[in-house]
Structure 1
Amino acid sequence: MYLVDEKDKNYRFGDSGPKYLMKGPRLNFAIVRFNPGQSFTAHYHNYMEEDFYIIQGKIDIYVDNSKNTLSKGQFIHIDPGEVHYVANNYSEPVVMVSTLGPHQSVDKIEVKDYLEKFNERL
């Protein structure tokens, strides 16, 4: 058994980023908050699947060659190998649940210039 209270954990960047409630041994589980204008580097995973479930707000999640705008109550699953990028292009914070599994201590491959290349395709 594993029991944790969210109030005992902190967001990575003070008031934003991931707040991991569990990291491994088989799954990562986090509450993630992005303030307006925040994003993270485009990347993919070789082994891990990633899920996002939106609790509050609105977010743009780019996966390979598509832009997906999600809001409260929506869910997205990202398979290993799919390049993804998350950006809060809106005026309100977004809060979402994120899961990654199976847990790997190192499995994130950054993709430089993804957004520029994505916009060129439009």
Structure 2
Amino acid sequence: MFKLNESDREYRFGDSGPKYLMRGPRANFGIVVLKPGQDFNNHYHNLMEENFFILEGEIEFTIDGKKVLCRKGDFIHVEPKEAHYLNNISDSIAKAAFCLAPYQEKDKVEAPLD
């Protein structure tokens, strides 16, 4: 068992991007913040599935070329090998919790956005 507060970790880009609260041994869990107009690169995972729960704002996901708008309270599941791109197309901050499992240390593959 362990406990931490979100403020104990830092976002990848200072005040935005992903923030991992746990990495392994069986799953990754974190928070991602996207500022208005900010995006997160298109990528996929070979073995890990990824789940997002929108906490604030709106995020437009592009999953294997299909656009899906998610708002506060929405949950979206991404299967392994499904390329996914996140984009905040709104004028306010977007925040989501994410979980990847089963944990694999190096499973992210960058993918061109079609």
* TM-score for the superposition, normalised by structure 2: 0.96
Larger Rg: 1
Alignment coverage as a number of residue pairs = 114
Q: 1:120 maps to what in 2?
A: none
Structure 1 runs not aligned, ≥5 long: 118-122
Identity of aligned residues (%): 48
Q: 2:15 maps to what in 1?
A: 15
**RMSD of equivalent CA atoms:** 0.8
1:16-53 deviations in whole A, cap 9, x for unaligned? 01111101111110011000111111111110000110
Q: 1:49 maps to what in 2?
A: 49
Q: 1:64 maps to what in 2?
A: 64
AA aligned to 2:42 is A
* TM-score for the superposition, normalised by structure 1: 0.90
Give the superposition deviation at 1:109: 0.9
Give the superposition deviation at 1:82: 0.5
CA distance in 2, matches of 1:84, 1:12: 19
Structure 2 runs not aligned, ≥5 long: none
Q: 1:36 maps to what in 2?
A: 36
Q: 2:27 maps to what in 1?
A: 27
